[in-house]
Amino acid sequence: MKSPAASADLSDLPALKVLARARAEGRMPHAVLLTGADGAVLARAAEQLAALHLGDADPLGHPDCRVLRPAKKSRRITIDNTLEIVAALRLTSLSPHRVVIVNEPDRFQSESANAFLKTLEEPPPGTLIILQTANYYRVLPTILSRCLRFHVAGDAPVLADPSWSDWLREMEKLLARMVKGPASPTARISEVFIPLYALCARLEVLLELFVDEALKAAPPPPPTDEDEDDAELAYEESVRRGVRARMLVSIEEKLRLIGRTHPGCAEQVALSVGYLEDARHRMELNYQVVAAFEQFLLRTLRTFAVRPREA
């Protein structure tokens, strides 16, 4: 079934123009990696490229189109799903062309990636493997080296909800307090620690609120061979991951704003950005969001506490 998102025409994208010309001239690469900031645009571009290769406006419904994606709450591409795709490609195809769409190849388990490498390097004749991810820097080098990469322009959607803007203002106030230091040691609890834990609690609430809103607005997940409950859970986790990433980008922007406003804090801000990246990695490993964010804020607080207080 063709997803609603795929109906938008992306034929003006330079990457798709180049690949369309390559296919017309018989030079279509066997493996293409689409990267960019907007996950929704990447998914649509991958589907449109699949439609081009198969000559079918509804590629996801085509019998020679397979989709490999992260599964279950772990959000990893499992060995079982990978071997299923590899085995399916050994069967006789119904048409001269076949497509495998790999969503989020940065989520390959190591054993899954190893099982897929031979197929990625030498797929059956007429096969196009399309990989797409917004996290290009996390894709294994062994995967990258076997693909022709194309960047798909587009910024990640911005969270414009007023409640998130309010949260960011409170976050900025807390960061400013960390820069200047509390008025006195006894004021630290009321000026820093109470707002810190309040921000952590609100972050979790807002994340779930935004995920619910995104799921209501998003098109239904594409068809899959997975168990229906597993597929729904994997789809929800994918949406949650995207929303969370946008929230963390906004937080990093606030950190960098502090660095520009207070040049003397450049070292502390750089360390804090690193702490935020550590928190991001923990969340990717299903570490509790609140616990990971709390650790980030506490480490940031300690970093600013050891520097002289600004006037």
Q: What is the pLDDT of residues 261-305, one digit of tens each?
A: 888 888 888 999 999 999 988 887 778 899 999 999 999 888 887
Question: Against a cut of 0.75, is the pTM above it?
Answer: no
What is the structure's pLDDT at 208?
A: 92
For the chain, which ranges sit under pLDDT 70? 1-11, 72-74, 154-157, 181-189, 218-231, 307-311
CA 76 to chain centre: 12
In three-state secondary structure terms, 161 is coil
> For the chain, how many helices (H) and strands (E)?
11, 5
Q: Identify the burial level of 110 via C-beta atoms within 10 angstroms of its C-beta, where 0-12 means exposed, 13-18 middle and 19 or more buried.
A: exposed
In three-state secondary structure terms, 5 is helix
Q: Which residue has tokens 């294994």?
A: 140
DSSP for residue 181: -
What is the structure's pLDDT at 11?
A: 64
DSSP for residue 155: P
What is the structure's pLDDT at 8?
A: 46
Compute the radius of gyration of the chain from its Cα atoms. Answer: 22
Structural domains in the chain, sorted by start: 4-151 (3.40.50.300), 162-305 (no CATH)
Q: CB atoms < 10 A from the CB of 278, how many?
A: 14
CA distance linking residue 84 with residue 207, whole number of Å? 34
